[in-house]
Amino acid sequence: MKHDILAMAPIPAAQMAQLEDSYTVHKLWKSKDPEALLNDVKDSITGMVSVYGQPVSARLIKALPNLEIIAHYGVGYDNIDIEAARAQEIIVTNTPDVLTDDTADIAMGLVLGVMRRMVEGDIYVRTGQWAKKGDLPLGRCLRGKTMGIVGLGRIGQAVAKRAEAFGMKVVWHGPRAKKGISWPHYNDLMNMVEITDILMLTCLYSPETHHFIDSAVLKALGHQGVLVNVARGKVVNEDDLVEALENVDIAGAGLDVYENEPDVPSALCRLDNVVLQPHQGSATHETRGAMAQMVVDNLRLYFEKVEVLTAV
């Protein structure tokens, strides 16, 4: 007898087909009446496929009395009420490692985009301003700059290696030093920010990091400093960031994440010292396929052996 799986949102077609071959998949995002669907299947659901942006609340978890596993399609899982899952003895998995390099690449792309004014340059050429106004104003080089990384996990370390390849000095902030890490560690965020040219956010989102980056941090970063966020939007106080950019308290920002995705403040969209991306750190065919396969493999291994590859 097939297990019943609740899919909160789509994953790549090849892996969705594997799920449908092995399980009875209930596609919540396709239902015209999600509440009615949940009422119909709530007692039969034993597995869930979660996707960032779709909340898995305590209320939803409690409404599925036989749920055993939540296989999350992503590395960050702050959309899931983990405490509610643990209280119900539900295993939660995520998809680490496979998206590290792509996310680190986007992070460095944002650095280049802001420092070398690449998006501005593209618009400058396409709109004919180059011919009319002459050369684009100068950007700034990466060589010799200091990158301060907040959160030196897998992605943070991958970004650090890329920054060094560009001739940058790397320092980092986290709750505690790590063995085998040679980059200088700062216990105090403000002490690090004061010597930082590019503040790179790769940390996990939690109550402790909510609005961790505020007006005080941005002012310490300084009028030549740049903020890059590939972590979670809520790590940054977005109102403070807009004010800092408008007042040129910092030079610019590169953002792949926002407080209330997919809604982005119009004030950010109007600024020409910001490079914006639609949360696409892992958005390549190869990586999204690998992430989805990890979801499938976690479910299969759990239902066959009560084991998982990547428990959170």
Residue by residue, pLDDT tens for the chain (312 residues) are 799 999 999 999 999 999 999 999 999 999 999 999 999 999 999 999 999 989 999 999 999 999 999 999 999 999 999 999 999 999 999 999 999 999 999 999 999 999 999 999 999 999 999 999 999 999 999 999 999 999 999 999 999 999 999 999 999 999 999 999 999 999 999 999 999 999 999 999 999 999 999 999 999 999 999 999 999 999 999 999 999 999 999 999 999 999 999 999 999 999 999 999 999 999 999 999 999 999 999 999 999 999 999 999
Residues 59, 141 share a domain: no
Residues 143, 82 share a domain: no
Residues 195, 81 share a domain: no
Question: What total of structural domains would you count in the chain?
Answer: 2
Residues 86, 181 share a domain: no
In a domain, 207, yes or no: yes
Domain that includes residue 203, residue range: 100-276
In a domain, 311, yes or no: no
First to last CA, the chain: 28
- Please report the pLDDT score of residue 281 as a whole number: 95
Residues 159, 143 share a domain: yes
Asked if 234 and 210 touch (Cβ cutoff 8 Å), the reply is yes
Catalytic residue among 72, 173, 232, 288: 232
Catalytic residue among 140, 185, 261, 300: 261
- List all residues 6 or more positions away from 269 whose beta carbon is below 8 Å from its beta carbon: 276
Asked if 174 and 201 touch (Cβ cutoff 8 Å), the reply is no
Residues 155, 112 share a domain: yes
Q: Is-catalytic flag, 261?
A: yes
**Number of C-alpha atoms within 13 angstroms, CB side, residue 278?**
4
Residues 128, 78 share a domain: no
Residues 199, 50 share a domain: no
SS3 139: coil
Alpha helices by DSSP H, listed for 42-90, are: 58-62, 82-87
Residue 166: φ, ψ to 5°: -90, 5
- Please report the pLDDT score of residue 38 as a whole number: 95
- Please report the pLDDT score of residue 180 as a whole number: 93
Residues 293, 248 share a domain: no
Residues 247, 132 share a domain: yes
Q: Is-catalytic flag, 164?
A: no
Give me the CATH number covering residue 260: 3.40.50.720
Catalytic residue among 3, 72, 162, 279: 279
